[in-house]
Amino acid sequence: MIKKIFRKIISPTVRERESKESDKFRLLEQKIQYRFRNKELLQHAFKHRSYLNVTQEKATASNERLEFLGDAVLDLVVTEHLYKNFPDEDEGRLSKKKSVLVSRKALGNIAADLSLGKYLFLDKGEEKTGGRKRLSNLANLFESLLGAIYLDGGYEAAKSFVHSILLSQMKEVLSKTSYLNYKSELLELVQAKGWGVPEYLTIEEFGPDHRKEFVVAARIKSKNLESRGKGLSKKRAEQMAARNMLRKLGGEEKNILRV
């Protein structure tokens, strides 16, 4: 009962705020080169689940269902593009390219370039903790926006969006080594050669607690090979050690993502 009364009181304020946002969304439509027929669908794509604390709507009113749909559409569009444009590459290489293109980091960075975060509907708590710039939120936004475009304009409209916003930058995205999971690439390579499994050992820790650095060794015991990497976390140091091992083995990671 209290929730119903609260909803009646706050709903006009919420509707007024969302109406004021319409001008900003027109600028977004120009930026993404797609004009929505259903403007409510566009705004729905930017409704973070925290905003439901303000509107008192049910959980399904957030953009998460659109994100779920957009994820599937993105997978199909990217897979189709890779299949048609790399006829001489096997499933393994195509899968690795796709994993980079649809990664949280790649999508989040592209969403940041489009300034999608400023359109988000958030509650005060999420706003204060940097929700507009959080990479996970931005990556989710890319997918929810894509899902909204698919519902509003169909597959061809969604495909055009992915091509113009993401696939037009494919070479640049694939060349960014920060999107690669070097440990995964090294594991696949080593196992394919029958050399066992790489091992990672922390060799050294140094620096103050608030900025401690780690040195990690990646080892392939069966071949008596070792490479080292350094980072501000053990995970980062392991990735760098794996990268250096791949370079030592002949730069296989570059071949994997050759465009």
Mind giving me the DSSP string for 159-171? HHHHHHHTGGGHH
Which pLDDT tens digit goes with each residue over 24-67? 888 899 999 999 999 999 999 999 999 988 888 888 899 999 99
pLDDT (average), residues 204-232: 91
- Known active-site residue 71: yes
* pLDDT tens string 205-214: 998 887 889 9
Flag whether pLDDT at 247 surpasses 80.
Answer: yes
Percent of the chain at pLDDT above 70? 87
Q: Has 143 been annotated as catalytic? A: yes
Question: Of 184, 173, 168, 192, nearest to 257 (Cα)?
Answer: 173
Alpha helix locations (H) across the chain? 2-20, 22-32, 39-44, 52-55, 64-85, 91-101, 104-113, 124-128, 135-153, 155-165, 170-175, 182-192, 234-248, 252-256
Q: Are 242 and 182 in contact (CB under 8 A)?
A: yes
Residue 258 has pLDDT above 70, yes or no: no
Say yes or no to pLDDT of 144 above 50.
yes
- The angle that helices 182-192 and 234-248 make with each other, rounded to 10 degrees, is 40
Q: Dump pLDDT digits (tens) for 96-126.
A: 889 889 988 899 999 999 999 999 999 998 8
Give the model's pLDDT for residue 93. 82
* CATH hierarchy code of domain 2-177: 1.10.1520.10
Percent of the chain with pLDDT over 90: 54
Report the phi/psi class of residue 226: left, alpha or beta, with left for phi > 0 and alpha for psi in -120 to 50. beta
250 has a pLDDT exceeding 80: no
Residue 191 in contact with residue 218, Cβ under 8 Å? no
Residue 242's pLDDT band, with cuts at 50, 70 and 90, is very high
For residue 252, what pLDDT is reported?
47
Check 18, 67, 71, 253 and give the catalytic one.
71
CA distances from 185 to 8, 13, 95, 217, 239 (A): 55, 51, 12, 16, 10
Averaged confidence pLDDT in the chain: 86
Fold of 180-256: Double Stranded RNA Binding Domain (3.30.160)
Task: Give the pLDDT of residue 195.
Answer: 93
Domain locations in the chain?
A: 2-177, 180-256
Mean pLDDT of 220-249: 91
- Decide if 135 contacts 104 (C-beta within 8 A): yes
Overall average pLDDT of the 128-137 stretch: 88
Provide the pLDDT for residue 68: 95
Q: What is the pLDDT of residue 235?
A: 87
- 101 in Cβ contact with 170 (< 8 Å): yes
Query: Within a 10 A sphere around the Cβ of 253, how many other Cβ atoms?
Result: 21
pLDDT at residue 69 tops 80: yes
Catalytic: which of 18, 67, 126, 143? Answer: 143
Q: Across the chain, which distance is largest between two alpha carbons, in Å?
A: 71
Quote the pTM value: 0.69
